[in-house]
Amino acid sequence: MLVTSSKFIDLMTEKGFGPHIGVPCSFLKPLINYIIDRKDVEYIVANNEGEAVAIASGAYLAGKRPVVMLQNSGLGNIINPLTSLNYVFKIPLLLIVTWRGESGLKDEPQHELMGQITFDLLKVVRVKCDEFPGSDDEIEEKITDAINYMSQTSLPYAFIMHKDTVGRYELQTHRDVPFVRGKILDGEDFESPMLERREAIAIVADPSLRSKASLVQEKGLIISTTGKISRELFYHEDKANQFYVVGSMGCASSIALGVALYQPEKKVIVLDGDGSALMRMEAMVSIGHYHPSNLLHVILDNESHESTGGQATLSPTVQFTEIAAACGYQSSVKVFSAEKLADTIQRCLVEKGPHLIHVKVKRGSDASLGRPTVTPVQVKERFMKLIDLPLRQAQGKLSSEVKGSFC
Ligand SMILES: Cc1ncc(C[n+]2csc(CCOP(=O)(O)OP(=O)(O)O)c2C)c(N)n1
């Protein structure tokens, strides 16, 4: 007997899961198509599975219980965030992974090896697996097991789906999304950078800028990329509204997208590096597409991988403002000076985004720069406490049903 998409999604929704984020697989076709057609269930299209995990992790920080759907071929794309984001910060996600190349199944050659190692690979990266429900009768118990495991460990959990598990469902809805090119605003065009990066960070992190621009008492949230940017932010001043993405290079902007989409009343600023932004440029595509008006993407471009010894990146031949405009950001601008940076942040926090500020900064950093002394789990807990209380209270129903809190 096959699983019915409606039954599975109804139960998942009842238990508080969503949004569903992923990259399709033919085994997932009926489930994803059904979700797309359901107006009350959200499906976020990701460009790759690593991005899906990062967006989902941001959504989790914002109080959601996301699900990531992927083919096992995409496991390679999620190893980095699973090991250096979800494991480190203890961010649980439910993964639905299809099992291409299952032994005994006639499948394509490209799935053979991944089919053999799917369970082992997930086990190695500390993701507990169970088979996806085989019939409607099994759904509730399996979902409850997953919730209980994630509540107890705060680690991701995977359902592995065999071929032909879910009954047929044909997609009815086709979305037409008009493309609107973003505006590239007049910036500055000096020959060389003027600001030290830590000076630029101090301007972005200045709470007086945010309080002038935001509603009274509203806190802006800052998500900073791996390496010395997070370290400089921490040593500028450590605060609960700052989330230091210590690993998962390039994922900070996707995490910020997940937070921004589900905390629309908060201003979300991502402090990115040029190396990080270039490592995962798919993030700019999704930010432009999903268009959170509360997101400000700041790329601190020192044309180098400063954190690993100052090696050059390829950013000198990239126009980030052009890319942002072409991806549909509301505005983008290139700045060099402290005054222009402060003015631009002020404007971006008032006007609807998403916005990109490309800040050219000097190379170099303090040789004695330390590392955050607060642990990733502490960072996560205080960040969620700061932004998330009303949502989590609203979701108390699930916790009591399954005996335990989700985080
Ligand atoms: C996937 C991955 N590859 C490589 C590294 C090593 N690494 C840590 S920080 C960093 C450079 C980041 O560059 P950028 O975002 O420009 O920031 P900056 O180093 O200039 O502070 C690299 C390569 C890593 N952490 N993760």
Please give the Cα distance from 44 to 188 (Å, whole number). 36
Among candidate residues 8, 19, 25, 5, the one with its CA nearest the CA of residue 53: 19
Within a 13 Å sphere around the CA of 133, how many CA atoms are in the beta-carbon half?
Answer: 25
Residue 272 is which amino acid?
Answer: D
Cα(215) to ligand 1 centroid in Å equals 35
Instruction: Yes or no: say if 332 and 284 are a contact pair by the CB < 8 Å rule.
Output: no
Residue among 88, 249, 318 to mutate when testing ligand 1 (max atoms within 8 A of CB): 249
Q: What is the tally of helices (H) and strands (E) in the chain? A: 17, 15
Residues with CB under 6 A from ligand 1: 80, 225-229, 249, 273-276, 302, 304-308, 313
pTM above 0.85, yes or no: yes
Environment class of 230 (CB within 10 Å of its CB; exposed 0-12, middle 13-18, buried 19+)? buried
Among candidate residues 221, 233, 244, the one with its CA nearest the CA of residue 85: 244
Q: What is the CA radius of gyration of the chain?
A: 21
Which CATH entry fits the domain spanning 5-161: 3.40.50.11740, 3.20.20.70, 3.40.50.970, 1.10.10.10? 3.40.50.970
Q: Domain spanning 183-374 has what CATH number?
A: 3.40.50.970
Whole-Å CA distances, 43 to 17, 39, 166, 252, 263: 12, 10, 18, 21, 17
Please give the Cα distance from 358 to 354 (Å, whole number). 13
3-state SS track over 224-264: ECCCHHHHHHHHHCCCCCEEECCCCCCCHHHHHHHHHHHCC
Instruction: Yes or no: say if 208 and 239 are a contact pair by the CB < 8 Å rule.
Output: no
Domain extent listing, the chain: 5-161, 183-374
Whole-Å CA distances, 244 to 163, 195, 384: 40, 22, 13
Q: Provide the token pair at 23.
A: 């990259």
Please give the Cα distance from 377 to 106 (Å, whole number). 44
Averages of pLDDT over runs of 10 residues in the chain (407 residues) are 94 97 96 95 97 98 97 98 98 98 93 96 97 97 97 97 94 90 94 94 84 57 97 95 96 98 94 98 98 97 97 98 98 97 93 97 93 95 81 41 33
Nearest residue (CA) to ligand 1, atom 1: 249
Instruction: Yes or no: say if 293 and 353 are a contact pair by the CB < 8 Å rule.
Output: yes
In this prediction, residue 211 carries a pLDDT of 66
5-161 with 183-374: one CATH topology? yes
Please give the Cα distance from 228 to 231 (Å, whole number). 5
Whole-Å CA distances, 145 to 100, 140, 149, 404: 24, 9, 6, 12
Beta strands 157-161 and 128-131 are parallel
Among candidate residues 220, 184, 25, 247, the one with its CA nearest the CA of residue 118: 25
Please give the Cα distance from 339 to 292 (Å, whole number). 26
In this prediction, residue 212 carries a pLDDT of 67
Nearest residue (CA) to ligand 1, atom 22: 308
* Closest ligand 1 atom to 272 CA: 15
